[in-house]
Amino acid sequence: MNILGISCFYHDSAACLIKDGKIVAGSEEERFSRKKHDTGFPFNAIKYCLKEGEIDVDEIDYIAFYEKPLLKFERILSSHLETFPKSFRAFVGSMPSWLNEKLRVPSIIRKKLKYKGEIIFVEHHEAHAGSTFLVSPFNEAAILTIDGVGEWTTTSTGFGKGNDISIKKEIHFPHSLGLLYSTVTAYLGFRVNNDEYKVMGLASYGEPKYVKNFRKIIDVKKDGSFRLNMDYFVYHHKMRMPSEKFVKEFGPMRKKGGEITQRHKDIAASLQRIVEETIFQILRNLHKETKCDNLCMAGGVALNSVSNGKILDNTPFKNVFIQPASSDAGGSLGAAMYLYNSILGNKREYIMEDIYLGPGFNTDEIRSFLKGNNIKFKEFKDDNKLLKKAADLIHKNNIVGFYQGRMEWGPRALGNRSILANPCNPEMKDVVNKRVKHREPFRPFAPVVTYEDYMDYFEAKTQVPFMLFVYPVRKNKRKLIPAVTHVDGTGRLQTIRKDWNPRYYQIIKEFEKLSGVPVLLNTSFNIRGEPIVCTPEDAYRCMMGTGIDYMVIDRFLVAREDNPKDKWTSWEGN
Amino acid sequence: MEKIKSFLKGFGKGFKKFGEGVSNVVNFVLLTFVYFIGIGITSLFAKIFGKKFLDMKEGEKSYWKNKEGEKELKDYKKMF
C-alpha cells in the first residue's frame, strides 16, 4: 500500500512516501525550491518521493494531508468574530490565501498531481503524534505534542500502544507555548517561525531575572495545563505578536539587527525557564496518568533541544524519542503513518533509525557533474585515503564540506550534507562564522561524537543520533573542544555509530588519530538564510560562494583554491 | 523580431502587474464588505447574547479540554 503524506500552506512544506508502512522517501520542499521554510505546494518534494518509490501518481492508494483545513478556518473566523473590529487588517491580509489555497486543498492536490484517489485529512496534532510514536522504538509510550497551533489545538497529551494512538487532552488556541516563544522571538527582533532557536541559544547568556514578569503572562496549573493572559498578545487579531502591555512589561522591543543587550539575554533566559517549567509540569502529570516510562514528543516546541536535554532529570520518564522533523514538515510523515497504522489498523513495520530519506546522487552522477562543469577535483579509488586526507585537512584548521549519500530529513545536517571543522581550535567558531555561516556571534556550533566516546565527553543521559538534546560538556573536556562548547558549558551533540553512517564515523575516528579527540564541529551545509544544500551543484555553489576550503563529495575531493570563483559569492573575503 | 519579442514580454509583465493590482483592489473592497457586514453583524449579535468565540477566561481549576471520542475512516475524509 502506497501512502503519500503532504504538509503545506503554513510553513515547512514537505512530502513523504510510505510503502506498506515503511518510509521510502521524505523531503522538505525548501531543499528543491531553495526558498527557506517554503510554504507552497510541495510539488518538487512529491515528484522526488514518487521517483524514489518508483511509482506513478495512479499507484498511490491514499494521500494523507496533515491537518483539517475547515477546522482551522473555523478557528480563524472565531478569532475575527471575537476581536472585531480590531482584526480588520489581519482579515484582509489573510483571507486571499485562505480562499485561493487553504480551503481548496483537495482540488489543488487533484489538479496539480492529476490524482483521482482518496484524500484523508488527519488532525494536525494527530499527525504530530503519529510522526513520533509510530516511528519510535516503543510499543507503548506517553505522547506530548506541542507547537504554535494546529486547527484549535496547541498542546495535546495522549498514549500510544501498538498501532493505536489515543489523544486524551488538549489545550486550545489562543493559549500556546509555541506562540509565547514566537512572541518573544518577535519582541527580540528575530523572525517568527524561523529564529526561535536563536532565542534558545541567546538564553544561555542571560539570567532568568524576568521570570516573575512571565508569571503574570502565563498561569500554569498543577496538572500542567496553562493559560496565557491575552492582554499581553495581539497575535489572535493582528499580523504582529506582542501587545503594548507586553512592551510596557519588558521594555522597548529590539529592532531587527539592533544591539543585543543584557536585558534581551535575560528575557530570553526567563522565557526558556518558564517554558521548561511548564513542559516538565505537563510531563510529570502525563507520567502519572499513563504510568509509562517511555515518552514520544513532536511539534515545533519539541525542537527545543535545551529543554529536551533536561527531561530525564526533571521528570520520571526514562526514555525519550523525538522525531527529527518535529515541526510541520514532519506532519506529512505523521499523517501518512497515522493513516496506515492507526486509521487502517495495519501493524507497525518501521522504526526510524536513520534520517537519510532525501535525494541522493551516485558516484557517476557526481563525476559527470564535476566534469561537465570543468571543476578540478581528485578522485580517490581508496576511500580510506580520502577520509584520512579529509581528517588531516580538518586537523589543519581547514573547513571541509562533507557531501555524501541521501540528504537528511528534518532541519539538522547529520553527516550527509554537513560542514566539518576542528572543534579543538578556540578560534574555529569565529572562523566558520566569518567565512561560511555569517551567523550571530552568540550562536553555538554543534559537536558530533562517536558513540563509544560520548559519555567521556558529555554528561549525556542517552545517545543522541538526531542532535535534539543539549547536554553539558564534561568539565575536564571543555578546554579540549572549545569551538563546540557553548557559553554555559553545554553542547547540542550528535552521537554517531559506525553502522549508522560508516564514512562519517570514520572521518571522526581519523581525526581522533591526529588530535586525540573523537569529536568534530558539525554544522549544516548552507549559508545563513538558505536551505541545506540538496544537489552536488548546490554544494559546489555554496563552497565557491563561501570560505569552505575543501569539499569531500562522494569519492572526490574538490579544493576551493583550484577552481575559479565564477559562481555567486556571499563571502566578502573572496 | 527580437525587439517585438522583448516589447511583448515587457507588455505581458506590465499587464500581469496591472491585473494583480486590480485584483488586490477588488479583493480589498469585497473583503472589507464581508468583514464589516458578515463578521461585524455576527460579532455584534454574539456580543449582545454573550457568546464567546475564544476561551480566554482565567482562574479555572484546569485548562485541559478532553478530546472527543473515536473517529472512523469516513470522518477523516472530511476537511472538518
Residue B66 placed within a domain: no
Q: Is the Cβ pair A156, B67 closer than 8 Å?
A: yes
Task: Say if residues A378 and A194 touch (Cβ distance below 8 Å).
Answer: no
Nearest Cα residue to A548 out of A531, A530, A563, A535: A563
A89 to chain B nearest CA, in Å?
9
Q: What CATH number does domain A172-322 carry, 3.30.420.40, 1.10.760.10, 3.30.9.10, 2.40.160.60? A: 3.30.420.40
Three-state SS at A400: strand
The answer to whether A74 contacts B80, with C-beta atoms less than 8 Å apart, is yes
CATH 1.10.730.10 fits A363-562, yes or no: no
Task: Name the residue among A448, A457, A359, A463 with its Cα closest to residue A412.
Answer: A448
CA A308 vs. chain centroid, Å, equals: 13
- Quick: pLDDT tens for A430-450: 999 999 988 888 999 999 999
Q: Domains of chain A: which residue ranges?
A: 2-66+68-121+328-343, 172-322, 363-562
Q: Which residues of B touch A74 (CB under 8 A)?
A: 80
Does B54 sit within 8 Å of A82, measured CB to CB? yes
- Domain enclosing residue B27, as ranges: 1-52
Percent of chain A with pLDDT over 70: 98
Is the backbone of residue A516 left (phi > 0), alpha (psi -120 to 50) or beta? left
Q: What is the mean pLDDT of residues A276-300?
A: 98
Q: Is residue B8 part of a domain?
A: yes
Taking CB atoms and an 8 Å cutoff, what residues of chain B touch A172? 55, 65
For domain A2-66+68-121+328-343, the CATH architecture is 2-Layer Sandwich (3.30)
Band the pLDDT of A206: cuts 50, 70, 90. very high
Long-range CB pairs of B23-31 (<8 Å, 24+ gap) are B27/A92, B27/A95, B27/A96, B28/A92, B31/A91, B31/A92, B31/A95, B31/A96
**Same fold across A2-66+68-121+328-343 and A363-562:** no
Domain tally, chain B: 1
Question: Does A81 contact B42 at a Cβ distance shorter than 8 Å?
Answer: yes
User: Rounded to 5 degrees, what angle do the CA atoms B37, B43, B44 make?
Assistant: 85
C-alpha cell at A270: 526567563
Predicted confidence band at A566 (pLDDT cuts at 50, 70, 90)?
Answer: low
pLDDT confidence bin for A291, thresholds 50/70/90: very high
Parallel, antiparallel, or unpaired: how do β-strands A378-379 and A556-559 relate?
Answer: antiparallel
Following DSSP, what letter does each residue of A26-80 receive, concatenated?
EEETHHHH--TT--S--HHHHHHHHHHTT--GGG--EEEESS-HHHHHHHHHHHH
Query: What is the rounded CA–CA span in Å between residue A85 and residue A268?
Result: 33
Burial zone of A313 (CB within 10 Å; 0-12 exposed, 13-18 middle, 19+ buried):
exposed
pTM value > 0.90 = yes
Task: State whether B67 and A167 contact (CB < 8 Å).
Answer: yes
- B74 interface with A at CB cutoff 8 Å: no
Residue B65 lies in a domain: no
Residue A572 scores a pLDDT above 60: no
- Residues of A with Cβ-Cβ distance to B73 under 8 angstroms: 120, 343-344
User: Given a cut of 90, is residue A411 above it in pLDDT?
Assistant: yes
Give the length of chain A.
574
ω into A85 cis (within 30 of 0) = yes
Query: Which A positions 413-432 lie with beta carbon below 8 A of chain B?
Result: none
Query: Is A256 within 8 Å of A189 (Cβ atoms)?
Result: yes
Average pLDDT over residues B26-44: 95
Q: Classify residue B80 by its DSSP letter.
A: -
Across A146-151, average pLDDT: 97
pLDDT over 90 for what percent of chain A?
95
CA dihedral A78, A80, A84, A87 (to 10 degrees): 160
Interval A13-63: pLDDT, tens: 999 999 999 999 999 999 999 999 999 999 999 999 999 999 999 999 999
> Average pLDDT of A246-270?
97
DSSP A462-485: S--TTS--EEEBPGGGTTTSGGG-
Is residue A573 pLDDT above 60, yes or no? Answer: no
Residues with Cβ within 8 Å of A559's Cβ and at least 6 positions away in sequence, in order, are A376, A549, A550
Q: What is the pLDDT of residues A519-551, one digit of tens each?
A: 999 999 998 889 999 999 999 999 998 999 999
Interface check for B43 against chain A (CB to CB < 8 A): the answer is yes
B68 in contact with A, Cβ within 8 Å: no
Give the three-class secondary structure for B33: helix
- CB-CB under 8 Å, A229 with B58: yes
Could you read off the pLDDT of A471-517 as tens digits, one per residue? 999 999 999 999 999 999 999 999 999 999 999 999 999 999 999 99
Q: What's the pLDDT score for residue B23?
A: 87
Q: Can you tell me the mean pLDDT for A298-315?
A: 97
Lowest mean pLDDT among A31-40, A68-77, A389-398, A564-573: A564-573
Joined together, the cell numbers standing for residue A281 give: 509540569
C-alpha cell at A101: 489555497
Question: Residue A574's pLDDT band (boundaries 50, 70, 90)?
Answer: very low
Assess B65–A contact: CB distance below 8 Å, yes or no: yes
SS3 A3: strand
Give A485's strand partners. Answer: none
pLDDT band at B69 (very low <50, low <70, confident <90, very high): confident
**Rounded to whole angstroms, what are the CA distances from A383 to A213, A297, A387, A445, A552?**
57, 38, 6, 27, 11
The answer as to whether B7 is a domain residue is yes
pLDDT at B11 (0 to 100):
86
pLDDT at A571 over 50: no
How high is the pLDDT of residue A569? 53
**Are the Cβ atoms of A120 and B78 closer than 8 angstroms?**
no
Alpha helix (H) residue ranges in B1-80: 2-33, 40-48, 73-76
- Residue A81 is nearest to which of B31, B46, B60, comparing CB atoms? B46
ipTM of the complex in this document: 0.90
Q: Which of A27, A185, A35 is nearest to A526 (CA)?
A: A35
- Closest A-chain CA to B31: A92
